Chain A
Amino acid sequence: MTTKRYSKISIGLHWVIALLIFSAFPIGLYMHDLKLSPTKLHLYSYHKWIGITVLMLAVLRVLWRATHKPPALHLARWQEVASGIVHGFLYLLILAVPMTGWLMSSAKGVKTVWLGIFPLPDLVAKDKALGHILSNVHTALNYTLLVLVVLHIAAALKHHFVDRDDVLLRMLPGK
C-alpha cells in the first residue's frame, strides 16, 4: 500500500508548529508563578518569541492549506466530519492563542520585540483591566487547545495502532 502523504511544506509546518507549541505551553505554565527574577523575564521573552513564531508559521500554514487540497481520505463519514471540525478549531487556535498573547502583552504595556530585535506594533493601548481579561482569554484558549491536541493525538495513535491505516503516516516525512 502506498501512502499519499501531505506535501513536504504541510508536513514541515505541522511538526515545527507542534514542537514550538509543546515548548511554549509548559514555559507559559511555569513562568507565570515564578517570583520576579531575570529568569522569569527571560522565560516571558522566550515564550513570546516562540509564540510569535507559531503565529507567523500558522498564518503560512492556513494560507497553504487554503490553496492546497490534502490527499483524499477514505474513512467513515463521521470520522471525516469529526476530524474536519477538530482540525478547523486547531487552525483557529494556533492563530488565536498567540494573537491573544500578543494582545495581552500590548494591553499590559509590555511591547513584544520578536527575538529581542524586531519590535511588533502594539495592538491596543495600555489598559490594565483589558490586560487582565486578555490574560484569562489566553489561558482559556490554551486549555481548549490542550483538550483538542490530546484528542488529536489520541485519534492519530488510534488510527495508527488500532485501525492500522495510514492516517498518521500521511503526516510523517517519507518518500
Chain B
Amino acid sequence: MKTFNEIIILFALLLMACDASAVEYNQVQSNQSTVSFGYRQMGVPMEGKFGKFAAQVAFDPDKLANAQARIDVTLSSVDSGSSDADESVQGKLWFDTRNYPLASFVATGVKPLGGNRYQATGKLTIKGKTLDVSAPVTLAVIGNRAEFNGSFNIKRLSYGVGIGEWTDLDTVADDIQIRFHLVVLASPASPLSNPPKRK
C-alpha cells in the first residue's frame, strides 16, 4: 500500500506541474531589454542608458513569493547622453568604474498592486553602497512574452556618485530616475526544474 500512496503523491505533483497557469518568465532577452536613466543638468532634462547589463528574472504571477530578479549593470557601458561626459562619469568622482565596475539590483520581494501592476522592492548597490529601493512595475504579457516596465528615483549623493566639485546640486541634480524595460520569455514551470542559475 505504501507504493500506492507514493504513486498518488507523484500524480498529484505531476498535476500541479501541468497546471496551465503555472508559467514562469525566466528567459531574459537582453537585446530587447533596456536600462536607462534620466537626470537634470542645469535645468536641462538629459537621457542616458547603459549598453551592457546582465539580468536574471524568475517570475510567475501566481507565485509572487518565489519571484526573483537580479540586474548587474556594467557601468563602463554608460551613455550619459552627452559624449563629453561619458569618460568623466567613469572617473573616481562619479562611478569609479575601476574599483566598482558593476551596479547591482537584487529584488527582495514583489507585491501585487492589482491588475498588471506590482511593487518590487530590492537592494541597489552602487559604488559599494547598498540601499533599499522600491519600484512600481507594470507587466504586459503577449503569448509567452512578458514585458516588465518600471522606474524609480534615487539620490545620487546617497551613493556617493558625483562628489567633489559635483556635490553642488545646481549643476547636476541629486534625483536620478532609473528606468528598466525587461523582455522575458516564459518556460513552463516544473517542480523538477532548478531555480534560475546565478552567476
Contacts and interface: CB of A to CB of B under 8 A. Distances in A.
Interface string B157-186: 000000001101011100000000000000
A121 interface: no
A37 B165 contact: yes
Interface of A: 36-38, 41-42, 44-45, 108-113, 116-117, 119, 128
Contacts of A41: 41-42, 171-172
Chain B interface mostly: mixed
Q: Which among A109, A117, A128 has the highest number of chain B CB atoms within 10 Å?
A: A109
B32 interface: no
Interface in B30-86: 41-47, 81-85
25 contacts: A36-B84, A36-B85, A36-B88, A37-B165, A38-B166, A38-B168, A38-B171, A38-B172, A41-B41, A41-B172, A44-B42, A45-B42, A45-B43, A108-B82, A109-B82, A110-B41, A110-B46, A110-B81, A110-B82, A112-B44, A113-B42, A113-B43, A116-B42, A119-B45, A128-B83
A41 B168 CA distance: 12
Interface of B: 41-47, 81-85, 88, 165-166, 168, 170-172
A111 B45 contact: yes
A42 B42 CA distance: 7
Contacts of A45: 42-44
B171 to A, nearest CB: 4
Nearest to B91: A36
